[in-house]
Structure formats: C-alpha cells, structure tokens
Amino acid sequence: MAGLKRRFVDWLDERLGGGSIEEFLRHKKVPIHRHTIWYYFGGMALFLFVIQVLTGILLLMYYRPTASGAFESVQFIMTQVKFGWLIRSIHSWSANLMILIVFIHMFSVYFLKAYRKPRELTWVSGMLLFFIVLAFGFSGYLLPWNTLAFFATKVGTDMAGFVPFIGKWILVFLRGGNEVTGATLTRFFGFHVAVLPGLATLLLALHLLLVQRLGMSVPPGVEKKIKEGQEPERSMPFFPNFLLRDIMGWYGALGVLGALAAIFPWELGTKANPFGSAPAGIHPEWYFLFMYQTLKYLPAKIFFINSELLGLMGFGIAGAIWVLVPFLDYKTGFGKVTRFFTGLGIFALGYIIVMSVLALVG
Amino acid sequence: MRIMKRSSNINRRARGCVIIVAVMLWALNAVAAAPPKDSCIACHSTLPGQYGQPAKLFSADIHHQVGLSCADCHGGDRNDDSMNAMSPSKGFRGAPTKAQIPEFCGRCHSDPSYMRKFNPGLRTDQVSEYLTSVHGKRLKQGDSKVAVCVDCHSVHNIRAPSDPRAPVYPTNVAETCARCHADANYMKGYRIPTNQYALYKKSVHAAVLAGGDTSAPTCSTCHGNHGATPPGVSSVANVCGTCHAMNEQLFEKSPHGAAFAKMGLPGCVQCHSNHEIVKPADSWVGTDPKSLCLTCHVKGDNGYAAAQAIGGGLDKLKAAYHDADAVLDTAERSGMEVSSARVELSSAHSDLIKARVAVHSFNAADVLKITNQGVDTSHKAYEAGIAALHERNYRRKGLAIALIAIVIAISGLYFKIRQMERST
C-alpha cells in the first residue's frame, strides 16, 4: 500500500514538476497561539461551499426553473425523490450556516488584523467572495417560487431601483422586465447556477493561492511577543496535523446539518401568486435584516432626498470602506495597531447584531 | 431697418391685445365659476331652530352635491332676496305634510327623463312600490305614524345609500328600522312584536354583516325596502332561497316541502326561525335530545330512521375529518411536507359542507352518498399523515445512526492526532 502511494506521488511529481507535492505539504506550517481557533473558519466555509456545490448539482437533476414548474419540482424533490428532502434541507441549511461562518471568518480576520501588508489582496478577494455568497443567498431564495420568496425578491429588487441614474436599468436587468415574473426566476437561476459559481471559483482560486503564497497571518500582538521573546514561536504542519483537525470540524458540521435537516426540514411554504397580496410580517433573510431594519427607521425623506436612496448610499460607502480597510489602515502593516479601526470593527459588528435582533423581535 | 422697427411695434401691440383678451377671459371664467346666488340658504342659515336647521344641514345632502337647491323641491325664487321669494306666484310650495311626502319626492324620483340627468341607473319606481307596502297602504288610510321617505333616508342631509354614513347603508338599515319597530310605545296598537331587532342582532346574518360583508342580509334584504311587506308563510322559502338556492330546491322536492305546505307551516322558518337565525349545528339533525327532527318524529317512524342515518353520516364524516386533520397537523409541526394530503382533505371538508346542504332533501341515501365519499377522502389523508409520521421517525433513526458514526469518526481522528503529536 505504502509502495503504491509512493509510486503515485512520484508519478504526479514527474508530470506536474516544480518540486514535490509531499515537500510542499510538509513545509506548509500553521502557527500555534491563543487565536489559532479562528484559522479553522476559512476551511469550514470552504467545506460548506463544497457541500453547496454537491447538493446543488443533485437538486439540478429535478429542479425546473419556470414559474409554472419550480414550486412543484421542489415539492416533488421534498416528497417523492428518495432522500430529496435531505438534499434540499442540507442545501438550504448549509447555505445559511456558510453565510454565518463567512461572517465569523471575516470579522476574525478583521480583528486579528490579518488583512495587513502583504495580505491586502487576500482581504479584497475574500470580501468579493463575501458579496458573492450574499448574492448566492439572494438569488437562491427565489428559486422555490413560494410566496415569501416572491415578495422578498420583489422588495429586494425594488431597492435596486433607488440607485441614481442606473437604478431602473438594474431593476429591469435583475427582473427581466418591470415586475417579478417567471423571467426573473429563470434569470436568478442562471445567476445562481452559472454566473455566481463561475465567479466564486475564480475568486476562491485566487484567495486560496494567496493564502498558500503568503501563509497564515500571526496577529500583531502575538508577533510582538514572539519578537520580544515573551512567547515561543510554535507551529504545526498543515498536513496532516491541521488538516485532520479541520476534518474533525467538518464531520461536526455534517452532523449539525444532518440533525437540522432531519428535525427541522426546510419549509416549502405556499406557491407564489403574483396577483395575491403580500403576507403580513414579510422580511428578508436574516443576513439582510440589519439593512432592512435601518431602512425601516429612516423617515420617508431626508432633506428632500428619498431615504431609501440615502440608506443604500450609506451602505455602499460603508461597504467600500470595509473593502479598502487594508489600504486605509496601512499603519498596522508597520506594526502600529490603530485603535480607530478596531473600534470601527466593534461598531460594525455591534450594529449588525443589534439591528438584526431588533428586526427579529420587532 | 425701418421695416424691422415697424414689425417690432406690431409685435408689441399684438402681445398687448393677447394679454387684455386673456385677462377678460379669466374675469369671465371667474364670474362663471362663482356659485349661483341662493337667497334661501343666505336667509335661513341665519335663522334659529327649525327655520335655520335645514339650511345648515343641506351642504351634506346628495341633492346639494348634484347642484340642486331648496327651490328645486320647495319652489320659490332663490334669486329674490325679499320675502316675495316665497310667494305662491313664484311657485313656492313650502314644506309638505307627511302624507304628501311620497308624492313630493316622487315629483322627480318617479320621472325617468329627469332622473337620467343625475343618475341614469337609479330606479324610478320607488313611490309606486312604496304604495304597495304596508307603510304606503296605511299612509293612504290616514295613518301618519308610518314611515315615509324622510323617516328612513333623513331629510335635508340625505346621503347616497352607498355612503356608509347614510341611515340606509346596509350596516345601518337594521338600526334605522328599529327606531320605530323596536319601540314598544310607538308600535302600540299595531299588534306586531317589537323584538325583531333584538333577535336579529343574535343571528348569523347580523354577525356576518358586522364582520364587514355588506352583502349579508339585513331587514330590507328579506322584507324589501320601498315595498316593505312581511313575507307570508308561502313566500318564506322564496325569500331564503334568493341566497340559499340549493337548500330551497332540495327542500321543495323533499317530503317536507309538500307536507309543510299542506299543514300551513312556514318552510325554512320552522327549523331556523325568522329573525333569530342562529348558526345551524349538526346536532339539529339526528336523534340526539337537541335534534329538531324529534319535534315531530318519534322512534319507529320513517322520519326517525332517516334522521338517525343522516345524523350518523354527518358525525362519521366529522370524526374522520378531525382525525385526519390532527394527524396532518402533527406531521406539519414535525416539518413534514404534507400539502398534497392537505389539498385532499380540503375536498373532504367540501363534502361536509355539501352534506349539510343535502340534509334539506331529508333523503338519507343522498346524504350518505356524500358523507361516505368524504369519509373515504379523510381516510386517505389520514393514511398520508401516518405515512409522513413514519417517515419522520425513520429519518430520526437514520440521524441517530449517522450521528453515532460521526462521533466515532471524530473520536478516531482525535486519538490519531494525539498519538501522532505524542510520537513527535
């Protein structure tokens, strides 16, 4: 068995060239310190993304992206297809879990200042991946074509219409017309299974390449202590030590997903009726709640300007600042931790949590 | 150069003319738009009590809103500021007596060519209909206590019947009739009950109307409005059948239809009462002590057997429906997808409604045919619910096995890492 493995690795080395894979795996190290736990969230997000891809492919075999067939096909998957309920429930739960893990990964990277020089591009590619994950959530939510999804998409795409000058064009582009119809469903299906996966794969490859190229970042506080000799520099090999720990986490995630799918199968609701009235208490998915609640608090007009437009502009500027943080907080790269950006991160996290809770209880 | 100067002068003059014409047109328009003079309103609105009240109320009146004035009903000259405006020579008619009111209103409301100018869809037979009513007949006999147009529609602030503030708007009709009909003192001498309003308020019809359904019956729906007459024994079923058509047809064809007519019993009212029409219960049919069938039928007769069979059929369907509903509820609470079974069960509910209507045929075979169909459908939905619960249990067992396998795998990895790191 060992001989066969050796021969296979040699065979690969001979063809791929550029040094031994084994060598690469042996030399890749993961730092050990009191914040090591946060390193696992990136791998967890990747694992959940793979689950999404696999379950998504299986769902594709039965799903029909038309207004007349979408709801019925998901109903068929949930009731008639062997283990269809499991695949669909895992796909939906895993999507939500992935977004949660991506949020945690993003904030852990932010607070550990892992975006500092020379990892600016890793942060930017990660942020773009984060936006793509949100777009995956938004586009996938409509696909079962149920009442809640229909009206949430209507409200969500209405928001796009508030963008100055090109808002109307974006709205028509997203909806495939002026209203949310079967054309919107087909369009969102295209985004969800072709455009977004393509973009995500490219960005993921870049993100992982940068992580491999630059290695894991050690937080400035820990780095300082190591330099001053107050703490020893410790690490573990990525393979197999770190990877085996990663796999333990993935098994755990699989167990949680299975339990959620079996005990709380993802609801299907009622089929969307474009001529019906919106159900009471309609709200977007939990990861958009903080924006939704903010817009709810704004008055109709602020200085004669539509408040939705102002709200969207505010979030646009905040998002842009967030993406550009490595360049704005460039001093951290030279070992000077700026309290302002730590405070900004705490404010952003607090704001998201408080607004989401208010939306859920209100 | 000179030509250019002259042309500029002509332009200036033309512009001046246009401005003058525009100002004149504006002034003419302002004069035309001003409200016409109305000396009746001008004087009466300053008077106290009964002489001033009509002028104050009139702005809310539908007649005022369509451009009519006091003089259009009462005659006289509204352009004359002197007392001469109310001279008979100016066509002044004054206030009509109560007995004159129907004809007074009918001068316009019975004239189709005049009414067409305001509301082409409005009927013009109200007065002739009124004269066929008990109110109209008694008025002709000299009874001045009976209702005339203004008693129901109000006077000087008459609103369209579609206006929710109008006394004849569906939700206000019962209160309007009750002003007289529920007043025992006022109705003394007519020898008719005065508890109709109190009974009606307890009825299912009043509850539906209060719930906002303005098509639900009120007094005028059954008794008519202008031609208000109590429906006689023979016409009760026709009145109820206007809305409850199926029930009426089945009843008429049933053995009860002919028997009730022969005995002079009012069809629907016999079981459902007239004003206090409460929501019917399934216990009214059958052989329970509450059953209305037992009012006439006794053990051993055909009616008793039919009542027993019909009551039993309804009970069986209700029990089967409730069992299936409970199982599907449990399955839904467990997150199982049972919407197809729900759709199926809704047809059993339709069967229950159909069976309740079919009761009016008093034919056990017809009712049982429907209830048995509903029972079968309920059983199928129940089986689907039970299958969903089995599936739920199967999933949970599968989850337990998968979780055990996952815990073993995680433990194995943990020990492998420990062993690996100890050896290095």
Per-residue confidence in pLDDT tens, chain B, 424 aa = 444 445 555 556 656 555 665 555 555 454 444 556 688 998 998 998 888 999 999 989 999 999 999 999 999 998 888 888 899 999 998 899 999 999 999 999 999 999 999 988 899 999 999 999 999 999 999 999 999 999 999 999 999 999 999 999 999 999 999 999 999 999 998 989 999 999 999 999 999 999 999 999 999 999 989 988 887 767 777 889 999 999 999 999 999 999 998 988 888 988 999 899 999 999 999 998 889 999 999 999 999 999 999 999 999 999 999 999 999 999 999 999 999 999 999 999 999 999 999 999 999 999 999 999 999 999 999 999 999 999 999 999 999 999 999 999 999 999 999 999 998 7
B421 contacts on A by Cβ (under 8 Å): 236, 241
| Distance spanning both ends of chain A, measured CA to CA | 62
Cis preceding linkage at A274, omega within 30 = no
Interface test with B, best of A32, A147, A254, A271 (most B CBs within 10 A): A254
Strand partners of residue B309: none
Strand partners of residue A236: A30
Say if residues B220 and B228 touch (Cβ distance below 8 Å): yes
User: To the nearest 5 percent, what fractions of chain B are helix, strand and coil?
Assistant: 65, 0, 35
Mean pLDDT of A81-109: 97
- Residue B202 parent element (H or E): none
Q: Given CA atoms A281, A283, A286, A289 in this order, what sign does their dihedral have?
A: negative
Cβ-in-10-Å burial (0-12, 13-18, 19+) of A77 comes to: buried
Residue A303: its pLDDT value, please?
79
- Copy the structure tokens of residue B411: 């433990």
Q: How far is A89 from chain B (nearest CA, A)?
A: 11
Q: In sequence order, which ranges of B141-241 are alpha helices (DSSP H)?
A: 149-153, 170-181, 196-201, 204-210, 219-223, 236-241
Interchain CB distance below 8 Å, A79 and B409? no
Residue reference for tokens 């001053």 = A228
Q: How far is A61 from chain B (nearest CA, A)?
A: 20
**With an 8 Å Cβ cutoff, is B28 touching chain A?**
no
- Residue A234 parent element (H or E): strand A234-237
- Picking from A103, A120, A113, the residue whose alpha carbon sits closest to that of residue A348 is A103
Q: Given CA atoms A184, A187, A189, A191 in this order, what sign does their dihedral have?
A: negative
Strand partners of residue A168: none
Instruction: Identify which of A83-97, A264-278, B50-64 has the greatest average pLDDT.
Output: A83-97
Q: What is the DSSP letter of A278?
A: P
Cβ-in-10-Å burial (0-12, 13-18, 19+) of A247 comes to: middle
CB pairs under 8 A between A and B: 57
Interface test with A, best of B332, B333, B337, B338 (most A CBs within 10 A): B337
A259 contacts on B by Cβ (under 8 Å): 399, 403
Interchain CB distance below 8 Å, A252 and B402? no
A48 Cβ partners below 8 Å, 6+ apart? A94, A97, A98, A101, A253
Interchain CB distance below 8 Å, B395 and A262? yes
Segment A10-66, tens digit of pLDDT: 888 788 775 666 677 777 899 999 999 999 999 999 999 999 999 999 999 999 999
Nearest residue of B to residue A259, measured between CA atoms: B399
Helix then strand count (H, E) for chain B reads: 21, 0
- Copy the structure tokens of residue A309: 């437009």
Helix then strand count (H, E) for chain A reads: 16, 4
- Residue A32 parent element (H or E): strand A29-32
Interchain CB distance below 8 Å, B399 and A248? no
Segment A327-350, tens digit of pLDDT: 999 998 887 888 999 999 999 999
Say if residues B225 and B177 touch (Cβ distance below 8 Å): no
**With an 8 Å Cβ cutoff, is B198 touching chain A?**
no
Strands A301-302 and A305-306: antiparallel
B68 Cβ partners below 8 Å, 6+ apart? none
Task: Give residue A264's identity as a one-letter amino acid code.
Answer: F
CA angle B272, B276, B282 (to 5 degrees): 40
Distance separating alpha carbons of residues B139 and B148, to the nearest angstrom: 8
**With an 8 Å Cβ cutoff, is B413 touching chain A?**
yes
Residue B4: its pLDDT value, please?
46
Overall CATH class of domain A33-284 = mainly alpha
Interchain CB distance below 8 Å, B414 and A254? no
The domains of chain A are located at: 1-30, 33-284
| Alpha-carbon distances, residue A312 vs A152, A217, A298, B145 (angstroms) | 17, 33, 11, 70
Segment B229-239, tens digit of pLDDT: 887 767 777 88
Mean pLDDT of A139-156: 94
Cβ-in-10-Å burial (0-12, 13-18, 19+) of B11 comes to: exposed
Say if residues B211 and B230 touch (Cβ distance below 8 Å): no
| Alpha-carbon distances, residue A119 vs A22, A208, A325 (angstroms) | 26, 12, 12
Residue A57: its pLDDT value, please?
97
* Residue A100: band (very low, low, confident or very high) from pLDDT cuts 50, 70, 90: very high
Question: Shortest CB distance from A268 goes to which of B337, B402, B403?
Answer: B337
Say if residues B391 and B336 touch (Cβ distance below 8 Å): yes
CA angle B346, B349, B350 (to 5 degrees): 90
Distance separating alpha carbons of residues B316 and B377, to the nearest angstrom: 12
Interchain CB distance below 8 Å, B399 and A252? no
Where b means 16+ CB within 10 Å and e means fewer, B195-228 reads ebbebbbebebbeebeeeeeebbbbbbbbbbbbb
| Alpha-carbon distances, residue A357 vs A39, A293, A354, A362, B118 (angstroms) | 27, 9, 5, 8, 59
Strand partners of residue A302: A305
Residue reference for tokens 């283990």 = A83
Q: Given CA atoms B155, B161, B162, B164 in this order, what sign does their dihedral have?
A: positive
Q: Given CA atoms A324, A325, A331, A334 in this order, what sign does their dihedral have?
A: negative
Interchain CB distance below 8 Å, B335 and A252? no
Cβ-in-10-Å burial (0-12, 13-18, 19+) of A134 comes to: middle
B409 contacts on A by Cβ (under 8 Å): 251
Q: How far is B163 from chain A (nearest CA, A)?
A: 27
Q: How far is B350 from chain A (nearest CA, A)?
A: 21
**With an 8 Å Cβ cutoff, is B398 touching chain A?**
yes
Say if residues A184 and A67 touch (Cβ distance below 8 Å): no
Nearest residue of A to residue B406, measured between CA atoms: A251
Question: Shortest CB distance from A252 goes to which of B402, B410, B420?
Answer: B410
CA angle B346, B347, B353 (to 5 degrees): 95
Interface test with B, best of A40, A86, A89, A251 (most B CBs within 10 A): A251
Lowest model confidence (mean pLDDT) among A133-137, A186-190, B49-53: B49-53
Interchain CB distance below 8 Å, B335 and A240? no
The count of other CB atoms within 10 Å of the CB of residue B77 is 18
The alpha carbon of B404 is separated from its chain's Cα centroid by a whole number of angstroms, namely 63
- Copy the structure tokens of residue B298: 């006794």
| Distance spanning both ends of chain B, measured CA to CA | 111
Interchain CB distance below 8 Å, B413 and A244? yes
- Judged by DSSP in three states, A236 sits in strand
A306 Cβ partners below 8 Å, 6+ apart? A162, A300
Segment A229-270, tens digit of pLDDT: 999 999 999 989 999 999 999 999 999 999 999 999 999 999
Task: Give residue A76's identity as a one-letter amino acid code.
Answer: F
Distance separating alpha carbons of residues B238 and B244, to the nearest angstrom: 9
Interface test with B, best of A246, A263, A270 (most B CBs within 10 A): A263
B133 Cβ partners below 8 Å, 6+ apart? B224, B226, B227, B228, B229
- Rg for chain A (alpha carbons), in Å? 23
Distance separating alpha carbons of residues B122 and B143, to the nearest angstrom: 29
- Copy the structure tokens of residue A270: 């009622």
Interchain CB distance below 8 Å, B337 and A85? yes
Distance separating alpha carbons of residues A157 and A167, to the nearest angstrom: 10
